[in-house]
Structure 1
Amino acid sequence: MGRLNRRLEALLSLPQTERRALLEELGQARARRLRSAWRVWAGDDQKPPPGDWRIWLILAGRGFGKTRAGAEWVRGIAKNDGAARIALVGASLFEARSVMVEGESGVLAATPGGEDILWEPSLRRLAWPSGARATLYSAAEPESLRGPQHSHAWCDEIGKWSSGEAAWDNLMLGLRLGADPRTVATTTPRPVALVRRLFGDAESGKGGTVLTRGRTQDNRAHLAPGFIVAIEAAYGGTRLGRQELDGELIEDIEGGLWPRGLIEACRVRNVPALRRVVVAVDPPAGAGPGSDACGVVVAGLGEDGRGYVLADASAEGLRPEGWAAKVADTAAAWDADRVVAEANQGGAMVRSVLQAAGRILPLRLIHASRGKSARAEPVAALYETGRVGHAGTFPALEDEMAGMTIGGGYEGPGRSPDRADALVYALTELMLGRAVDPGVRKL
């Protein structure tokens, strides 16, 4: 054992690039035996930083190894601290279980076969022989974190948390056990309030927050062959690629119709009784895989006179009968009063599928007679005056909104803001009408 430890320490003393090159030269059998030795395989930025930190924020692109880094940190704490009480917080309980615990890079996968660990899904609890315990929580239920006390926490994909700051604050107020409470937060960067807040704390040195940045490319040795080439060809240099692959925190674009802060300010937790509900559709120009998305957005008009965005049910890669059926199902699920569809591309298809499904539902076909900016600007003005609320978070839709600029430009994900166009149609139908928005002519 002593000789093995000395060899391991010698391997660890090598620079990361030399260590990985040497590991690649090993035979498969030896490599498999070493795979559970995280200290050997881990990149330098996947290991806890030195110093007296309280929050370790890992802001990195997809495939960087954020999940494995979080799982290994939890495993190390639990193995060495029998009094540890750890919170595992995901965007939902499903994601906490399927990614943080049972996933390919989760806690169970990171645990060598010789180590005992008790996983009790019904109790949302992990238990180690040391006496340490970990409990799963959903950030979508921030009140569940009010009351429990913890010594450590791992928070995954905080950029996706629907009630981000509320869940985080409740967690922090309960992080009061042990001599050195610490939290690891792992996420692909999204410019939402909580990520901005922690990023700002790290930049200013506030609150004991330290930051690790990382790119997908940094972990290419452990990713499927061809993956890097394919995603760089598809997304390299784009706004989406800079965020999702390079781990950049992308802020507002110049001249944007919907600044990120404006979108964040319109979040609502409660929706009043609704006078009307509409499903708006922006049909794609093409058909099948590789075509644009079919924008499908549900919005309602509240008794308080405000408009509320209720759901983004957009579909990708479907043939016309497929996305039209999705529209019919969405209208039924929300008991919509009307479907609004752009006639230019596929409004007639929407009509025929609704009729075939037996949905006797008013359908308004509209013809977009002016540019996207002319249609969107009056709707953006509704946001500026506080007349629209978002009942939750809709990342794909909101990314498109943030990419639309004054003058008709678009710098968001995808070739076209299909979701955002559907949103414009929905809120125009509910709140503006023909007299206010000359860019949409109702047929």
Structure 2
Amino acid sequence: MKTWPPCSSSLTTELSSLPVNSQLPWLREVGERRIWPIRNEWFRSARLAQYPLLGSPETWLLLGGRGAGKTRTGAEWINGLARSIPPFAGHKHFRLALVGETLADVRDVMIEGISGIATISRRERPRFEASRRRLVWKDGQVALMFSSEDPESLRGHQFEAAWCDEVAKWRHAEDCFDMLQFGLRLGQRPLQLLTTTPRPTRLLKRLLADPMVVKTHMTTQDNSANLAAGFLAAVERRYAGSVLGRQELGGELIEDRADALWSRDLLEKVVVSVPRELKRIVVAVDPPASSRKTSDACGIVAAGLDGEGRAVVLADATLRGAQPRRWASQAVALFHSLQADCLLVEVNQGGEMASAVIRTVDPAVPVKAVRARRGKWLRAEPVAALYQQGRVLHAGRFAELEDEMCDFGPDGLSNGRSPDRVDALVWAVTELMPDHAAEPRIRELR
């Protein structure tokens, strides 16, 4: 694996101080192989990390924190390939792929988001054909939309280039990535850009170990000039020094916590497709004590019991900083969408109020109150043992839930906070498998 650049400082700092006729020689000294003339206003303010200065690598892995500029780079890259804009392309690319975690993510982030392709295209804006799931430029260039939820949808297609966003969150990551590789077969040098906040998934580790992959690293702080005033101070105050902060702001790849109940390798092995038939489905809710933005999240996790007696995690609809009626509506909507049998609510902290709020949203929903009599770690241990035995599966990937699980330690915290998603997960699995998820007790014989 190659790394570019040595740091992600802004080009503008040095470049803007030089005369125009001196800027290109300076850039030639910076680049290791080649550099194209800068024709576009964004390239005058972009940071060095947002340029493929190693000669447009065939596989470019861009790791970064939240708000570091990954989406903007991907959008400019695709637009540059389609329109033949240096430094991203020397000719027009006509067959492109856009792959995200879900089709909604492709539309809402990669295409129509604030930094999406349609938004940043200053001239020759492509036409978004939602019904056909594609972007079309005026000269016939086409970018097709794909979701990691359906790797088979990539079968039969072929491309010159692909932008893959948030690959560390993909549902069927390796299957989707592998199917894409078979489709990258047009042109002399098919290209792919992978943008993501790093998580130690099997696919990401595989890419980092590949000597042909060029890696770029960016932090949230690097993009401070384009972020809201006060945002950085707030997140630094809240997350500085934490594992979550290092991952989400620093863009670091954080390995598993040694004393956690779950590991990434274990969670990679339990991913399956959604079963066709489930004997029972429950939605578990771990309500927060308050609705402030800094308070605990409302954990909302759904799971079902398959024909072989295994629990299958179906959804993570957790909300943070939401008013009671909003998270109650979210839980009820998930209950109905999955045609669940029961809605579980933990009543230790305001749970009676939570049950009442849920009934105001839909009085017909069957609500079961559950009360914790042991600590979080003790309640989670038997559930973690079921994972080890292959008796709990995940119907896809749940990135935020997996992050909590892999940092959940004996102190009952995950990333220094209450593990609300894990709490809801434990309640759901315990309800579905009460005989197996209960902690065994040793009785003294007299």
Q: Shorter-chain-normalised TM-score: which range?
A: 0.7 to 0.9
* 5+ residue gaps, structure 2: 1-17, 28-37, 85-89, 442-446
Give unpaired runs (5+ residues) of structure 1: 1-5, 16-33
Deviation at 1:383, TM superposition (A): 0.2
Indicate which of 39, 43, 50 corresponds to 2:43.
39
> Is 1:187 matched with 2:199?
no
Contact kept in structure 1, 2:332 and 2:362, CA below 8 Å:
no
> Is the CA contact (8 Å cut-off) linking 1:371 and 1:408 kept in structure 2?
no
| Letter paired with 2:96 | I
Note if contact 1:36-1:112 (Cα within 8 Å) is conserved in structure 2: no
Counterpart amino acid of residue 430 in structure 1: L
| Partner Cα separation in structure 1 for residue 262 and residue 382 of structure 2 | 12
1:35-84 CA-to-partner distances (Å, cap 9, x unmatched) read: 94233212111100314732000011122222222222223322242454
SS in 2 for 1:273: coil
In 1: Cα distance, 2:320 partner to 2:273 partner: 28
TM-superposed CA distance for 1:278, in Å, is: 1.9
Q: Is 1:232 equivalent to 2:227 in the alignment?
A: no
Alignment partner, residue 349 of structure 2: 345
Residues 59 and 194, structure 2, Cα contact 8 Å, conserved in 1:
yes
- Please give the secondary structure, in 1, of the residue aligned with 2:282: strand
The letter of the residue matching 2:67 is G
- Equivalent position of 2:4 in the other structure: none
What is the percent sequence identity of the aligned residues? Answer: 48
Alignment counterpart, residue 313 of structure 1, candidates 317, 330, 335: 317
Contact 2:345 2:355 (8 Å CA) reproduced? no
The answer to whether residue 98 in structure 2 is matched with residue 99 in structure 1 is no
The one-letter code matched in structure 2 to 1:411 is S
- How far apart in 2 are the matches of 1:83 and 1:280? 48
Q: CA RMSD in A?
A: 2.9
1:76 to 80, 90, 105: 80
Deviation at 1:366, TM superposition (A): 3.1
Partner of residue 387 from structure 2, selected from 383, 386, 398 = 383
Contact in 2 for aligned 1:82/1:131 (Cα 8 Å): no
Q: Contact 2:126/2:136 (CA < 8 Å) preserved in 1?
A: yes
Q: Which amino acid aligns with 2:238?
A: A
Which residue in 2 is equivalent to 1:216? 220
User: What is residue 291 of structure 1 aligned with on the other side?
Assistant: 295
Q: 1:164 to 1:358 in 2, by over 3 A?
A: closer
Aligned to 2:157: 148
* Mapping for residues 232-251 of structure 1, pairs under 5 Å: 232-251=236-255
- State which drifts further: 266-275 or 310-319: 310-319
Q: Which moved more, 1:282-291 or 1:148-157?
A: 282-291
- CA shift, 1:172, in A, is 0.6
One-letter code aligned to 2:373? S
Partner of 1:426: 428
Counterpart position of 2:122: 112
Provide the C-alpha distance between the structure 1 equivalents of 2:437 and 2:173, rounded to a whole number of angstroms.
Answer: 39
Equivalent pair of 1:84/1:178 in contact (CA under 8 Å)? no
Contact 2:136-2:143 within 8 A present in 1 as well: yes
Q: TM-score, normalised by structure 1?
A: 0.83
- TM-score under structure 2 length normalisation: 0.82
Taking the aligned partners of 2:382 and 2:66, their CA distance within structure 1 comes to 36
**1:270 aligned to 2:270?**
no
Question: Which residue number corresponds to residue 3 of structure 2?
Answer: none
The one-letter code sitting in structure 2 at the alignment partner of 1:93 is L
- Decide which of 414, 417, 420 is 1:415's aligned counterpart: 417
Mapped partners of 1:259, 1:432: distance in 2? 24
Q: Shift of residue 338 of structure 1?
A: 2.8
Q: Which AA in structure 1 matches 2:161?
A: H
Partner of 1:10: 22
Deviation at 1:132, TM superposition (A): 3.8
Determine helix, strand or coil for the equivalent of 1:103: coil
More helix per residue: 1 or 2? 1
Q: Quote the Cα distance in structure 1 between the aligned partners of 2:195 and 2:160.
A: 18
Following superposition, the deviation at residue 332 of structure 1 comes to 3.7
Change (3 A) 1:131 1:234: same
Residue number in structure 1 paired with 2:167: 158
Aligned mates of 1:425, 1:219 — CA distance in 2: 40
Residue pair 2:328, 2:361 contacting (<8 A) in 1 also: no
Deviations 1:329-353 (A, max 9, x none): 4434433333333232233224434
SS of 2:371 mapped into structure 1: strand
For residue 255 of structure 1, report the CA deviation from its aligned partner: 1.0
For residues 295 and 224 of structure 1, the distance between their equivalents in structure 2, rounded to whole angstroms, comes to 28
Distance in 1 between residues matched to 2:317 and 2:375, nearest whole Å = 24
Does the 8 Å contact 2:168/2:197 carry over to 1?
yes
- Tell me the distance in 1 between the aligned counterparts of 2:361 and 2:139: 59
The change in CA–CA distance for 1:44 and 1:270 in structure 2 (over 3 A counts) is: same
> What are the superposed Cα offsets for residues 117-166 of structure 1, whole Å, 9 maximum, x if unpaired?
55544433444456543323223221221111111111122122212211
Distance 1:322 1:109 in 2: 30
Q: Which runs of 4+ in 1 moved over 6 A?
A: none
Of 372, 386, 392 in structure 1, the residue corresponding to residue 376 of structure 2 is 372
The answer to whether the 8 Å contact 1:36/1:110 transfers is no
Match of 2:132 in 1: 123
SS at match of 1:59: strand
Which of 273, 280, 285 matches 1:281?
285
Shift of 1:186: 0.9
Q: Does 1:331 align with 2:335?
A: yes
What residue identity is the alignment partner of 2:399?
Answer: P
For 2:438 and 2:289, the matched residues in 1 are separated by 27
Distance 1:77 1:366, change over 3 A: closer
